[in-house]
A and B are shown apart, each in its own frame.
Chain A
Amino acid sequence: MFRMMLYTQWKWSRLLVVAGTLVAFAIPVLSVQSAGEYNLQHWEARALLNSIESWGLAYPILAAGLAVFMAMTAWGPDHRGRHVYALSLPVPRWHYALLRFGAGAVLLAVPVLAVWIGALVGTASAVIPPGLHAYPYALALRFALALLFAYAVFFAISAGTTRTAGYILAGIGAIIVVQVMARAAHVEFDLVGTIFGRMLGWPGPLEIFTGRWMLIDV
């Protein structure tokens, strides 16, 4: 059962997986390569770290992008058939959703592996200045966690009905309206900023996406 679920998910998302894997492999390799021979050979630590850090933004963007598209492809065909086929199969709804989620998660393991291998290849191809260290395992693990979290969130949203999406949009809209009204009334109240702060800062759920994504660090 899971094998066929995995097969269909692969069929629907193989281009995404292949492209995502190539990018996932390329980012850590390029981040080290772009640091430049000069910085590596002359052990210009600060310049090297700045260069590595500038590539760090690519990891959460890639994780979020892969998660969104994988979640969309996971539910897209069922949405088109108004879920009649999925609901008529002799498995409980939670079981079907779990199979779909699992199939997507397994395929997302491929880009995670690519990040890890790319990080190993990138760091192996360069001489790291003394005092700095490579963190290929930690980077790949963080990428995996970010990817899994984003996939879980978008999978849940994507599984919902148009009404669910409406509720989410209405919630976002309500926050914006409250903020605009507070501004209009000259009330010092930064609701959007507060929510973003809570979401993106520790222990917020999106904290894993923020901060520095460093393949090489002190």
Chain B
Amino acid sequence: MSHAIEMRDLHYRAGKSFEIRDLALNVPTGAMYGFLGPNGSGKTTTIRLMLGLLRPLGGKITVLGGEIPREAPRVLARTGYVPEQPHLYQSLTVDEAFRFHSAFYPTWDRKWADELVENFQLDRGRLLSRLSKGEMGKLEMLLALAQRPELLVLDEPTDGLDPVVRRDVLTAVLEYVSQQNATVFISSHLVHELERICDWVGVMDRGRLVAELPMHSFKNGIKRLRVANAPALVGDAPFVLLSREVGNGAVETWIVRGWQPTMTQYFEGVGAALREVVDLDLEEGFVELLRTFRSPRN
């Protein structure tokens, strides 16, 4: 499997309180990769390192086959980036922002940009400082898409947008991906949004990658189990026990990862009884994953 983005042993520090250490991340080419994490977990910093906006203290980053930051300009010419905060020059009009942006991208598709302007109902003559948050979000997405990138890096692209605009923006991304087979790296803390569109997921917390796996594994692999007569020690369980809580009576609630239906035999072997297996949705799985990661054992 080829990777559009690869990070190895990445190390970065911002001040005394925040550090990314030993980060390894792989985004398969053509994937819709959801980058999940709570606020302040290091998602934006990781993206900025990935695009060469920040310089790492150590480690290796390769994006679209180019080494970052050495080959950042060549990589950026093939990458559409929508940052977390609006970053365009506020004193320009929409049309001027187009002209300025397109001057830097030889692959700029003017015809499609015009179509997107119509679809997004943007006023070409309006100053960027006068655009609403939704309009600015659409403009940022438009600029990223109209350069026909091989890789789209979207940092919380729908954060703060109303549902209609959010749908417009995500629809434009999905249409583009279906046409171009581009790779999309999308960071968000809106778990349900990523659940619908992504086929890979990476979870970050406190500057570390907690998990990276295909979305279906993430969604199906994390379960809540109700276990009667649970053993004190788990021993060689075929799954990963994320947490356990004592409930009413002798029944405990276990959160496990990597669950398969055939694993029920384990409980018979240790003298316990599995009463119930509950599917967790992505958000619950995400919360449990973070809770485990943050527990004192880790």
Instruction: Categorize the interface residue count of chain A.
Output: 20 to 34
Q: What 0/1 pattern do residues 80 to 114 of B give for CB contact below 8 A with A? A: 01010111111110001001100111000000000
Judge whether A90 is part of the interface by a CB distance below 8 angstroms. Answer: yes
Known: A4-B99, A7-B96. A91 touches B104 (CB 8 A): yes
Count chain B CB atoms within 10 A of each CB in A80, A82, A85 and give the residue with the most.
Answer: A85
- Whether, in the assembled complex, A46 has its beta carbon less than 8 Å from a beta carbon of chain B, the answer is no
B51 interface contact, C-beta 8 A: yes
Q: How many angstroms from the CA of A59 to the CA of B55 in the assembled complex?
A: 43
Please tell me if A131 contacts chain B, counting CB pairs below 8 Å: no
A-binding segment of B70-78, B241-249, B258-266: B70-78
Determine whether the beta carbon of B96 is less than 8 Å from that of A80: no
Chain B residue at minimal CB-CB distance from A88? B81
A163, CB-defined interface residue at 8 Å: no
For window 89-110 of A, CB contacts with B under 8 Å fall at 89-92, 95
Q: Does A187 contact B (CB under 8 A)?
A: no
Question: When A88-B51, A88-B83 are in contact, do A4 and B100 touch as well, CB less than 8 Å?
Answer: yes
Whether a CB of chain B sits under 8 angstroms from the CB of A1 is yes
User: How far is it, in angstroms, between the C-alpha of A168 and the C-alpha of B51 when the chains are bound?
Assistant: 30
A83 to B230, CA, bound (A): 56
> A11–B76 contact, CB under 8 A?
no
For A91, give the chain B residue with the smallest CB separation.
B73
Q: Is B270 close to A, CB under 8 A?
A: no
Q: Is the CB of A8 within 8 A of B100?
A: yes
Tell me if B53 counts as interface (CB < 8 A to partner A). yes
Q: Cβ of A84 < 8 Å from any Cβ of B?
A: yes
In the complex, which of the residues A1, A3, A82, A90 contacts B74, with contact meaning CB atoms closer than 8 Å?
A90
User: Given that A81-B89, A84-B53, A84-B85 are known contacts, is A4 also in contact with B103, CB under 8 Å in the complex?
Assistant: yes
Asked if A11 and B92 sit within 8 Å, CB to CB, the answer is yes
Q: Do residues A80 and B76 form an inter-chain contact, with CB atoms below 8 A? A: no
Q: Tell me the nearest residue of chain A to B93, going by C-beta.
A: A11
List residues of chain B with CB within 8 A of the CB of A3: 103
Q: Are A11 and B103 in contact (CB under 8 A)?
A: no
A3 to B99, CA, bound (A): 10
Contact of B91 with A88 in the complex, beta carbons under 8 Å: no
Q: Which residues of chain B have C-beta atoms less than 8 A from A8's C-beta?
A: 89, 92, 96, 100
Task: Render A1-33 as a binary contact track against B, CB cut-off 8 A, 1 for contact.
Answer: 101100110011000000000000000000000
A-side contacts of B89, CB under 8 Å: 8, 77, 81, 85
B73 contacts A90, CB within 8 Å?
Answer: yes
Q: Which A residue sits closest to B82, measured CB to CB?
A: A88
Q: A77's closest neighbor in chain B, by CB?
A: B89
A87 in contact (CB, < 8 A) = yes
The listed residue (B75, B77, B91, B104) touching A77 by CB distance below 8 A is: B91
Smallest CB–CB gap between A97 and chain B, Å? 13
With most chain A CB atoms within 10 A of its CB, the pick from B52, B76, B77, B104 is B104
Q: Say yes or no: A11 contacts B74, CB within 8 Å.
A: no
Complex interface bits, B21-54 against A, C-beta within 8 A gives 1, otherwise 0: 0000000000000000000000000000001110
- Name 10 A/B residue pairs within 8 A (Cβ), A-sorted: A4-B100, A8-B96, A12-B91, A81-B88, A81-B89, A84-B53, A90-B73, A90-B75, A90-B105, A91-B104
